[in-house]
Chain A
Amino acid sequence: MRSKAAPRTGVDWFLTFLRVLLSGLVLFGLVAFLWQQIDPGNPLASAINPDANRLSWDAFQGLVISGLSQGAMYGLIALGYSMVYGVLGFINFAHGEVFMVGAMTGMITSNKLFEAGVWEDNFLLAILITVLVSVICSTVTAVVTERIAYRPLRGSPRLIPLITSIGVSFFIQNTSAVLLGPGAKSYPRLPDWLRDDIGIGPFDIEGKKLLVLVVAGVSMGALWYLVERTKTGKAMRAVAEDKEIASLMGIDVDRTIVTTFAVGGAMAGVAGILWGILFGSVTEFTGFLPGIKAFSAAVVGGIGNLGGAMAGGLTLGSSESLAPQLVLEPLGVTGHTQLKDAVAFLVLIFVLLVKPTGLFGERLSAEDRA
């Protein structure tokens, strides 16, 4: 972005200092943690936080698994951010709300199915119907949003659609609160086989978390096939590269953009169901934090890069779940689990400071990179 010859100003020095400080803290915390696992009485660990506990293997793998399953969900949402950013070059702030719509409609459908008895008799059929309904609702929400709020603004300065999408996010959130009532609403009880642990190698994974990982993997594979192997995907990549030339090549740009929103919405719908399965309840604010975290995941992985979005989601999810124990506790931060959400944002800031293009490189057209 800036020429190398530019003189280093105070701000640059401060940024360098910040980079070193953050990396140092993370490294220090990790070393103290590892040393503590080997020898609890060592001077480094006990000097800073003598109360730190050793982490058992069970607890550790529990953290890893829940981090990964949450991360897979973030990854699914992040795909929508990444694709829209790749194609239109703006942050669709309302994408988190699309995810919330998926979780909400999933809650309504599954409860209706539970009342009808289908949920308990034939769980697979019930979950299939639920996923179908959620995916349809999320997709419709995403497409309608694009049509009403974003299409008229195409070509305006980048911040204008971003502000609009904040409005959309606000609107959908409060629509849910007003129409469906505020507060948490719960999913029906999952069948036992999803609540039991399943042993895979050295890991004992709770069934629902395994399900989340599998579903995320399958969706990711399907998306990869769509984008890399089909004509629609080719059109999407072409539009992301250069809209004008793509239209000259006979690609219907408007339709491709709608497809992008639809696919992103469908992924968010799937993620919404996964949220319901993982946490069992949903509120109108469900979409807000996971949405921002998913955007962070997209940035961490390199925006515009679909594999990167998934990898970024997994990175963010696991660091969010592990960092409080691995880095914050050895540093003597009390009540570190309360800072879980803050960790997610710190990861974003850290990555943007150290490697602004994300861990796996961003893929954007020349005009969006500016």
Chain B
Amino acid sequence: MSGTMNTDEAIVLAPARGAFDQDWRKLVNWGLICALALIFVSLTDMPDKLDKRVIVEPLLSMGYLSLIWIPIALGNLVTREVVLEGMTQHKKGLRELVAGVSVGAIGGAGLALLIWLLDTRDLSDPLVNWNDALLEVLSFGEGVGYGAIFWILASAGLGLVGGALHLLPTIANRLLFAISLTIVLTASLESALDDISEGFRLEWLFEALFEKKGGLSVQGAIILAVFAIAWVLVLGGQAKRGRAAVAARRELSPMKVNTVGLALIAVAAVVLPMFLGRLTNDLLTNVGLFLLLALGLNIVVGLAGILDLGYVAFFAVGGYTAAIMTSPSSPGLSPELPWWVAIFVVVFMAIVAGLFIGAPVIRMRGDYLAIVTLGFGEIIRLTVRSDWASGFTGGAQGILSIPGADIVGVATVQGTDPQQVLYLVIGFVAIAIYVSWRLENSRIGRAWMAVREDESVAEAMGINTVNSKLQAFVVGAILASFSGAIFAAKVGSVFESSFKILVSIVILVIVIVGGMGRIAGVAAGALVLVGILGGPNQPGLLAEFSEFKLLIYGALLIWMMLKRPEGLIPNVRRSRELHQEEFLQDAWLKAQANDDDDEAASGEVAPA
């Protein structure tokens, strides 16, 4: 599709193939995948448990959304072709529709089979969600036959929609995408929007969009759709032109950032918390804490290329050091320092921990390093929990009654007041972003990237690889320990159970989904994942998803690594590294096009 846009010579489209000129085996395979996916999602009980979360009041809930996207996506993907140069590209036509319908119908038949089995068999012994509630949701309470026929037809119809997306012009596809994204996103943000609209006295707008009992109203959805269309057709073009202008300016001075945008974000960060309610402030605090962690891991993984799976260890070091230093009820040592003094001790401990964990692992192969750091993370948690260290750390009882954060005697941030904690978090996030940004473009940042790309070459270029990796480790450790110290002051207590390996993995997912090595990407990742789905122990906006969020994280991680390893908002250099082969291939193709002599090129260059 994109090929038609940017190449000089227009690709000639061959006439559409016949509607029944299909690769039937492929269709059946995809149909079976569709059926399996539908059955899997049904058995996870998403349709039932998420049914209460309404998107558009009488029409659609998250529960049904978890099913209907599958036939659409698969019906679309089944006829998607990667068009390489020199291949014939056919016009899209009936063939795509037939393929979509068949995939959807087979998928629907699978779901119908499940409905029938739900009615006749009892498999509730191993499968906990095998119950009447699921049957009720799937068959709309109208009986097995109705449900079965409905899903076969509906799924075929959705597959048809998926196939039809190929026939629509690009602009229509973009419009549809924008509309559905706007509606689903707005519905997901419902409780936050409720909170924000109160702060800004915009209740009338909220009431216009949402129903009282939850979910968008039909007219609200229409308003949003109109807004999305306007955005794509009018404002989107403006933004694109703006971006092009910025890109042009970057060409001239690569170090300059968009100061206007930064200033806007800064003003928003200062002003916004005043207008937000408790819920949103608390939510953003969690996002900020994880953003702080993710920014640190971004330096370690994204810039220096060290896969640290025990990153939570530094979070724990920060949390426990702050707790021991400030809490009056800390069991062993209890100096009861003010928080801002304790933060210096925290930094010191983070440096010590970073060096101590970093030094032994820094020479190891990248994958050994991952497992050993994971081991260190567990060792620290297990030690903190054990009786041996409980004289200092309180063991499984943890450390309680940590006072809030005291800032140079000027102000005291109460952990119970989300707005104050949010300001504290924003302050530290700002520091972290500034540090990350300055480091990335500095000598040491370039050294990190060189080490990431090829260690032996970096060493040959005169970079002390051991030292630069250790520096990355320590900087990452300090940022994580800040997060830990704020976490301790916010919650008022620390327990070892807050520092499980799970936290490390969730931070890794944030960094990878957002975009390794790119600050904006990491921020977007933290905002979307922690804000909407929730952190490892913290609920997000979609509280109904708490049971499924880890499952979704796992699936996201796999999908991102397979399809888009550079993340949603990628770092340009990083993405070039990851797609090196494609870049080489492009260069090769270009060289071929320039080269008139066909046979010389085909023999010589073998793509690596």
B367 within 8 A of A: yes
Q: How many A-B residue pairs have CB under 8 A?
A: 164
How far, in whole Å, are A19 and B371 apart by their CA atoms in the complex?
19
User: CB of A162 within 8 A of chain B?
Assistant: yes
A166 and B562 within 8 A (CB): no
Encode B534-545 as 1/0 by CB contact (under 8 A) with A: 000000000000
Q: Is B557 an interface residue (CB 8 A)?
A: yes
Q: How far is the CA of A1 from the CA of B43 in the complex (A)?
A: 50
Q: Is B24 an interface residue when CB atoms closer than 8 A count as contact?
A: no
A41 interfacial contact with B, CB 8 Å: no
Contact with B along A155-191 (1 / 0, CB 8 A): 1111111111011111111110111110000000000
B359 at the interface (CB under 8 A from A): yes
A360 within 8 Å of B (CB atoms) = no
A106-127 CB mask vs B (1 if < 8 Å, else 0) is: 0010011000000000000000
Please name the residue on chain A nearest to B377 by beta carbon.
A345
Distance A163 CA – B561 CA, assembled complex (angstroms): 8
Cβ of B335 under 8 Å from chain A: no
Closest Cβ–Cβ distance, residue A234 to chain B (whole Å): 27
Q: Given known contacts A9-B466, A159-B367, is B372 in contact with A168 (CB within 8 Å)?
A: no
Q: Is the Cβ of A166 less than 8 Å from the Cβ of B505? A: yes
Question: Which one of A15, A179, A333, A341 has the highest number of Cβ atoms from chain B below 10 Å of its Cβ?
Answer: A179
| Chain A interface mostly | helix
Closest to B557 in A: A167
Q: Which of B80-88, B123-131, B165-173 contacts A (4 or more CB under 8 A)?
A: B123-131
Q: How far is the CB of B329 from chain A (nearest CB, A)?
A: 21
Q: Compute how far the CA of A2 lies from the CA of B362 in the bound complex, rounded to whole angstroms.
A: 13
In the bound complex, how far is the Cα of B370 from the Cα of A296, in angstroms?
A: 12
Chain B nearest Cβ from A85, distance in angstroms: 8
B325 within 8 A of A: no
Main secondary structure of the interface of B (DSSP, over half): helix
Q: In the complex, which residues of chain B have a beta carbon less than 8 angstroms from the beta carbon of A161?
A: 561
At the interface, yes or no: B366 with Cβ under 8 Å from chain A?
yes
**Cα–Cα distance between A153 and B561 once the two chains are bound (Å):** 9
A162 touching B368 by the CB < 8 A rule? Answer: no
Evaluate contact between B551 and A178: CB separation under 8 angstroms.
Answer: yes
The stretch of B153-161, B191-199, B241-249, B379-387 that contacts the partner chain: B379-387
Chain A residue with the shortest CB-CB distance to B555: A171
A306 to B386, CA, bound (A): 35
CA distance A159 to B305 in the complex (A): 9
Query: Could you tell me how many residues of chain B have their Cβ less than 8 Å away from some Cβ of chain A?
Result: 59
B382–A170 touching, CB < 8 Å: no
Q: Is the CB of A348 within 8 A of B366?
A: no
The count of residues in chain A whose C-beta lies closer than 8 Å to any C-beta of chain B is 62
Instruction: A179 to B44: give the CA distance in the assembly, Å.
Output: 5
Contact of A164 among B44, B467, B562 (CB under 8 A): B562
Contact B368 A335 (CB under 8 A): no
Determine if A108 and B126 form an interchain contact, defined as CB atoms under 8 angstroms apart.
yes
Assess whether B303 is interfacial by the CB under 8 Å rule: no
The answer for the CA separation of A152 and B362 in the assembled complex, in Å, is: 29
Q: Which of A221-229, A269-277, A309-317, A349-357 contacts B (4 or more CB under 8 A)?
A: A349-357
Chain B residue contacts of A171, Cβ below 8 A: 551, 554-555, 557-558
The 4 A-B residue pairs with the shortest CB-CB distance, nearest first, are A335-B387, A167-B557, A171-B554, A170-B554
Can you report 7 A-B residue pairs in the complex whose CB atoms are below 8 A from each other?
Answer: A11-B467, A18-B360, A91-B371, A171-B555, A178-B45, A292-B375, A356-B368
Interface residue ranges, A against B (CB under 8 Å): 1-2, 9, 11, 14-15, 18, 90-91, 108, 111-112, 148-149, 152-153, 155-164, 166-175, 177-181, 288, 292, 295-296, 299, 333-336, 338-339, 341-342, 345-346, 348-349, 352-353, 356, 370
A168-B554, A349-B360 are known; give 18 further A-B pairs, CB within 8 A. A11-B467, A15-B363, A108-B126, A155-B581, A159-B367, A159-B370, A163-B307, A166-B557, A175-B551, A181-B128, A292-B375, A334-B388, A335-B387, A338-B382, A338-B388, A349-B375, A352-B360, A352-B368
